[in-house]
Structure 1
Amino acid sequence: MARLSRERVLEAAVALADEAGLDGLSMRRLATELGVVPMALYKHVANKDELLDGIIDTVVGEIDLGPVEGDWRPAVRARILTARAQMLRHPWASGAIESRRNPTPAVLAYMNSVIGLLRTGGFTVDLVHHAIHTLGSRILGFSQELFDDTPADPGAQEAAAHAMKDTFPWLAEMALQVAHDEKSIVGSGCDDQFEFEFALDLLLDGLERLRSAV
């Protein structure tokens, strides 16, 4: 039998979640699948929360984030469809992502890559901010809002943004500008009503273009 490792534990957990869903994923059942006692798992994952973060990163980390040449639109579309294909291969993954209070490192890296495609494609930071709200969780291949709009301490938010600058530069740039840019068309921060109308207008404009093409 192969030696137990964190990678092996997470691979087995992904396989078990694929088979039984998140409700069927438990440390005891996972240990049985691996042929070990439950306590052996805790050498590699501290608890169920760490296990969930690990399997999310295992799945999202398989999405190709390599450089893309050409126009931003087909590049972003292809990346999102790749993410969707991954979510469809692992139907439990979207629920797991939604259940986490904070995005995992692989999710942050993925979001950073998409924001980078938009920025290098000519989008302003303000427009990227609204585009991300419009896409919502579709950016990761499923439908739900990505951001937790619960008010948080501005100082803590700014400190967190500065802390991620080296690792996730595009994401940090947007977070810092959104927090302070009073020139934004909605002012600093997020406005739920504006984001809803922004998305609605975009969808309606798209429908009108389709209608006119008939």
Structure 2
Amino acid sequence: MALADKDGIGSVSMRRIAQELGIEAMSLYHHVANKEDVLDGMVDQVFAEIELPADGTEWKTAMRQRAESAREAMIRHPWAISLLGSRSAPGPATVRHHNAVLGSCRAAGFSIHMAAHAFSLIDSYVYGFVLQEVNLPFDESADLDEVVDSMMLPFSAEDYPHLLELTTEIILQPGYSYGDEFAYGLDRVLDSLEAAARG
């Protein structure tokens, strides 16, 4: 995971893992079957980092906490976004996570179909948001004035007044963070799911 965090998922190979550990690649096969086994374990570890909904926690609170925790885990491990739903051999943390999310929905009175919809919609929002967030051309440490100037320089303010308005009224304001949009969107998703489950 440290290797993928540092150099991306493409850097993860049996040879590179062995090199990082200071051992021969063949030694790894005493512990894992192949690279797919390693990837399964990495994904399971990411799921282990995501806070599970606690029994008895109100549904929206539980889903909000889980979504925020999932976002934090994926920001720590951006390579995981493309792998979390792709593994055909889920580990115990993955299975426990999925069961807890569905259980929280069912305890809130969601039908099994509505629980499936909720799980899919929440995760689609979280994964999509994080994918966009980690690929922005700037981060929290960047000088946004310089980044925006370089991005907007080739374009006329008269031709793109709405983009200029967004940039000056929101993005360039002190304390702006794209990540702050996460809570607003998540609340809309949760509100709509709650309304649909009641309807």
Q: Give the TM-score normalised by structure 2.
A: 0.59
1:144-155, aligned counterparts within 5 Å?
A: none
Structure 1 match to 2:2: 15
Greater C-alpha radius of gyration:
2
Q: Against the structure 1 CA distance between its residues 127 and 24, is the aligned structure 2 distance closer, same or farther, given a 3 Å change threshold?
A: same
Q: Which residues in structure 2 correspond to 1:21-40 (within 5 Å)?
A: 21-40=8-27
* In the alignment, structure 1 residue 71 sits paired with structure 2 residue 43: no
19, 28, 36: which one pairs with 1:41? 28
Q: Which of the numbers 44, 53, 71 marks the counterpart of 2:40?
A: 53
Shift of 1:47: 0.2
> Does the 8 A contact of 2:4 with 2:12 survive in 1?
yes
- CA pair 15-128 structure 1, distance change in 2 beyond 3 A: same
Cα distance in 2 for residues equivalent to 1:70 and 1:60:
20
The 1:64/1:46 distance shift into structure 2, 3 A limit, reads same
Q: Distance in 2 between matches of 1:100 and 1:37?
A: 27
> Superposition RMSD on alpha carbons, in Å?
2.4
Between the aligned partners of 1:137 and 1:103, the Cα distance in structure 2 is: 19
Deviations along 1:83-110, whole A, 9 cap, x unmatched? 1110110000111224434544422221
Which ranges of structure 2 fall in alignment gaps of 5 or more residues? Answer: 130-187, 193-199
Alpha-carbon contact 1:97-1:103 (below 8 Å) kept:
no
In structure 2, which of residues 43, 68, 77 is the aligned counterpart of residue 90 of structure 1? 77
Counterpart for residue 112 of structure 2: 125
Shift of 1:38: 0.4
Are the equivalent residues in 1 in contact too, given 2:18–2:24 (CA < 8 A)?
yes
CA apart distance, 1:129:
2.6
Shift of residue 36 of structure 1? 0.4
Which position in structure 2 is the counterpart of 1:111?
Answer: 98
Question: Which runs of no fewer than 5 residues in structure 1 stay unpaired?
Answer: 1-13, 145-201, 207-214
Deviation at 1:61, TM superposition (A): 1.2
1:143 aligns with 2:119: no
Asked if 1 retains the 8 angstrom alpha-carbon contact of 2:14 and 2:28, the reply is yes
Runs of 4+ in 1 over 6 A off after TM superposition: none
CA 1:106–1:143 in 2, change beyond 3 Å: closer, same or farther? farther
